[in-house]
Amino acid sequence: MFQLFLLLLEVIYLFLAFKTGNTLFMVIAVGVGAWWLYELNKDAKERSEALLTDTIQKVEQHPHTRYIISPDYLRALMLDERSGMLRILEREDVPDDFEIKEIDFEDIYEIAILEDGQQVALTAKGGVHGLSLIKGGAKMNIQVDELQEEEEEEEEDEVQKLALQLLVDDLYEPLIEYIFLDNEQAIPKELDEYKDIFKECHNWYQKISVIIKRHERKKAQDISIKGWT
């Protein structure tokens, strides 16, 4: 209500300034306009902080050792190393409760980084020297932490969507996606904003890659022990 009053006051002084040619009215109009913008930004910041606090409270109700919340507060990606579970929380709108997808660490077979649907990094149990199911059957040979481009494709300078995609042991929903960026307009890869988002995405890619390799090694050790007994 106060913001509306300031906006109305600014319009009145602008009208008087143009009507009379009085510089004082213009100065007052500019001052009131600056005050209105300040109050508008202050209110938006307070609402954003309240929304973040509420989202954190809802997310932290679930067991976790680390998590990340999307900028629009509609998604969260969580790791719980104590129970060995990965959780993806999603909701349609901010006031809604989160829907939860839980995945046992042992049930994660592959993880990939996708830029506009194109795979730029992949980690899989046993390594990948053949077909990647995430890629839809395309031949891949990508090692952990190596971001390689397909030589036959030209490098894209802009990205519209950046996501992690997981292949898990679930016949009903084997491919699960966590989106880090999904813009209507593509943004340049050289933009600092995109570099920061990609860095966070790659950071989580590394964490889940370690989980995949850790369980792969544990399984190999168990097989070796059984072979000696």
- pLDDT tens for residues 143-198? 444 444 444 444 568 999 999 999 999 899 999 999 999 998 999 999 999 999 99
Does the residue 90 lie in any domain? Answer: no
Q: Does one domain contain both 31 and 130? A: no
Mean pLDDT of the chain, nearest integer: 81
Q: Does one domain contain both 110 and 26? A: no
Does the pTM surpass 0.75? The reply is no
> pLDDT of 81-118, one tens digit each?
999 999 999 999 888 889 999 999 999 999 999 999 89
> pLDDT of 29-78, one tens digit each?
788 778 778 777 877 777 778 888 888 999 999 999 999 999 889 999 99
Q: Does one domain contain both 210 and 112? A: yes
Question: What is the secondary structure of the chain as a DSSP string?
Answer: -HHHHHHHHHHHHHHHHHHH--HHHHHHHHHHHHHHHHHHHHHHHHHHHHHHHHHHHHHTTS--SEEEE-TTSSEEEEEETTTTEEEEEE-SSTTSPPEEEEEEGGGEEEEEEEETTEEEEEEETT--SEE-TTTTS-EE---TT-----TTSPPPSEEEEEEEEEEES-SS--EEEEEEEEEEEEEETTSHHHHHHHHHHHHHHHHHHHHHHHHHHHHHHHHHHHHH-
Does the residue 65 lie in any domain? Answer: no
Q: Does one domain contain both 41 and 115? A: no
